[in-house]
Each structure stands twice: as C-alpha cells, then as structure tokens.
Amino acid sequence: MNDVLDTVLLVEVFVTLFVIMDPVGTVPIFLTLTSGRSPATSRRYAWQAVAVSFLVITAFAFFGQQILSYLHISLPALQCAGGLLLLLVALELLTGNEAEPKANQDANVALVPLGTPLLAGPGAIVATMLFVEAIDNAAELIAVALGIIGVHASLWAAMRYSLPILKVIREGGVMLVTRIAGLLLSAIAVQLVADAVRAFIAGEG
C-alpha cells in the first residue's frame, strides 16, 4: 500500500493544512461576509471560495518558487502582505463599518478575502510548497495531492453547512458573530505580520 500511497505523509499534510486553514474557524467569518445575501448566493460563494483557494494552492505548489523568484518577493514579504490585507477586513468588522459591503452586494467575497488570503493564505502556501519540495516518488505525490483535496473538501463542508446556523442566530446573532470574526481575523493578521517581521529581523526576508 505504501508503494501506491504514503499514508503517513497523507495524514501529515491533511493535519498540517487543516490546522493552518482552520475550516471550523472559517465558519463565523463566512457567515459574516455572506450575511444579507440569498442562500443560493451563499452556497455559490462556498464552492467558489474553495475553488479559488485550491487553484492558488495548486499554482504555488507547482510554480511557487519560480513566481516569487521572478518577482523578487520573499516568503516573509508575502506573509506580511497577507496579514495586512486581513487586518483591513478585520478592522471593518470590528468597527461596524459595513456601509460599503451593503451598498455593493455584487462584490464577490468568495475571491477576496475568503478564497485568498483567508483560506489560501501565506501559511498554507508556504506549507504546501515545503511538502511539494520534499516529494521523491509517486506515492508521496499522491499523498500530498489527496491531503490538499481532503482539506478543501472539509472547508467546503464547513461553509456549505454553516448556512442553517445563519437561519437560527438571525440578525442579533450575526452582529455578535461579526465582532467575533473581526477579533479572530485581527489576531490572525497580527500573527502573520509579527512572524514576517521576525523573519525580516532574522535576515530571512
């Protein structure tokens, strides 16, 4: 079986990306960003966000080093940029500055910030690139591929079946979830920036 599939590596890839991409923690953020939209639109955003994340992760898995080298971008710089973008979204959620999103209901939040940098963020991209660089045979390649697919299936399920929650918590609950999501996002953003600054100081940028 190990000649066809490296199960240990499969579990390692799945667990690592599951922790980084955090399907459970994505639920309140997804509910907040899709509030006020129809169930059909929210369901569409769920699979679109996962599709965008999968495409970004796959692209960086195959061409990540070449892309960053060509653009002269270091991994800490990518991490810091993702953190700053998430921080802007978090500040809007925390301060209740929702006039712009409500005025522009056509804005597709599945692309930004859901698909990237929330799901396909710097952490997930870097982890995937490291796993791909360590591949030595077909069994490891299959394991990494299945791990990535499995995590994205978990992300879709978490967002897709979060919609019944929205019907239960209603407007007051959405307001509470919005503040919690803003707090979580701001913490994630600050951690990304802090890790990037630490890498710059260590001369890794």
**pLDDT recorded at residue 22:** 83
In a domain, 42, yes or no: yes
Give a yes or no: residue 14 inside a domain: yes
Provide the whole-model pTM.
0.76
Report CA 69 to chain centroid distance, whole Å: 23
Domain of 72, in residue numbers: 7-202
44-56 b/e (C-beta count within 10 Å ≥ 16 → b): ebbebbbebbbeb
HSE-CB at 158 with a 13 A cutoff on CA atoms is: 21
CA nearest to 33, candidates 183, 184, 149, 181: 181
Residue 139 within any structural domain of the chain: yes
pLDDT at 101: 42
49 pLDDT above the threshold of 90:
yes
**Across residues 65-72, what is the average pLDDT?**
89
117 and 86 Cβ atoms separated by less than 8 Å:
yes
* pLDDT per position as a tens digit, 141-197: 999 999 999 999 999 999 998 878 777 777 677 778 778 878 887 888 888 889 889
120 falls within a domain: yes
In a domain, 97, yes or no: yes
* pLDDT (tens digit per residue) in 103-152: 345 668 899 889 988 899 888 998 898 899 889 999 999 999 999 999 99
Domain contains 137: yes
In a domain, 1, yes or no: no
- Does 15 have pLDDT greater than 80? yes
Give the pair of three-digit tokens for residue 187.
């913490």
In a domain, 2, yes or no: no
Indicate the number of domains in the chain: 1
Q: What percent of the chain stands above pLDDT 70?
A: 90
How many C-beta neighbours within 10 Å does residue 177 have? 21
